[in-house]
Chains A and B, each alone.
Chain A
């Protein structure tokens, strides 16, 4: 389960941001996770819950925004049907992933003196 190492990287970043602002507490952590990013939101939440007791994030909920996978043709914008070959239904060009691979830290809410 690599979600634990994702949480570890997330925590390192939060500590750095909080330290830079002399924050005394973290109130919330907002992340964005794509449907084809390879990170399972449920497992990420579990890993976060296991990781955070006794840390700066102990009382900060992890708010996960899930992003659907969206494929689009770079030429004409056409999108294949779900489960179809990854080519444009209009012009036949290979489509590109437009969204859905996010593993992003979006925002943290800090108690700042």
Chain B
């Protein structure tokens, strides 16, 4: 008999003890091996609708030469974000999710087969605007970056702790608006420290460019270990090729 809810059927218990999202996890691991083999740093960019995800990527494009950046843009219904990124010089493919509130590893994998990404240095995966659901799905990224606009309020990290717990970096965006807001950025950072185990927070404005140099330096540092390990790989020890079904 079930000791959790008291249901009392005579039946065979089958212990599974596995993550419900194990299929997504396997697909994410597969994507991760793709990224590693092509030496591309994949960054999962998350945040509320209007947090400034696309604007920060546009500002990022001004710091990198052509051919280094690419993006997959998750969007419920439009291709507006991908169109904006293209205009900013970032080759992009839209992943239209329909009603899905997040990207999953399978959607990303499908996109990887329809987008020339292997020669890039960085692939940004701009997730669906949402501070809840995207945090649950591993996509195979090297890092999670969470954007929180200054006007969203000091308590957002406390209200959405899962998203901030999974973040490797938080960008507080739109700080050019701070003079017009009644907002305490130090309090936002203190709140982040109660939900994010290794808090790393930059304050940026895509509009004025303030702080974008720190974000760019952070990105460059993500490549440094890859560059070093690539140089350290002796000849003949290339990663094993792997086989999988390619989508049409």
Contact = CB atoms under 8 A, between A and B. Distances in A.
Interface of A: 1-2, 5-6, 9-10, 12-13, 17, 21, 23, 25, 27-28, 30-31, 36-39, 61, 63-65, 71, 83-86, 94-97, 103-112
A9 B7 contact: no
Nearest to B14: A108
B23 A9 contact: yes
Interface in B1-20: 2, 4-5, 7, 9, 11-20
A96 B194 CA distance: 12
Contact of B194 (A64, A65, A84): A84
Contacts, number: 118
Interface of B: 2, 4-5, 7, 9, 11-24, 100-102, 104, 132-133, 135-137, 161-163, 165, 190, 193-199
Nearest to A80: B194
A2 B136 contact: yes
B195 A61 contact: no
A30 B4 contact: yes
B144 to A, nearest CB: 12
A45 B100 CA distance: 19
B69 to A, nearest CB: 28
15 contacts: A1-B101, A2-B101, A5-B104, A9-B21, A12-B23, A13-B23, A17-B16, A21-B12, A25-B11, A30-B2, A38-B136, A38-B163, A63-B5, A85-B190, A103-B19
Contacts of A25: 11
Contacts of A64: 4
A110 B14 CA distance: 7
Question: Which of B4, B9, B20, B132 has most A Cβ within 10 Å?
Answer: B20
B2 A106 contact: no
Given A63-B5, A94-B197, A105-B20, A2 B14 contact: no
Q: Which 8 A-B pairs have the closest CB atoms?
A: A27-B9, A2-B133, A38-B162, A38-B136, A109-B11, A27-B11, A63-B4, A63-B5
A94 B16 CA distance: 32
Given A38-B133, A104-B18, A109 B9 contact: yes
A38 B21 contact: no
Contacts of A109: 2, 9, 11-14
A12 B193 CA distance: 38
Contact of A17 (B14, B101, B194, B198): B14
B131 to A, nearest CB: 10
A68 to B, nearest CB: 13
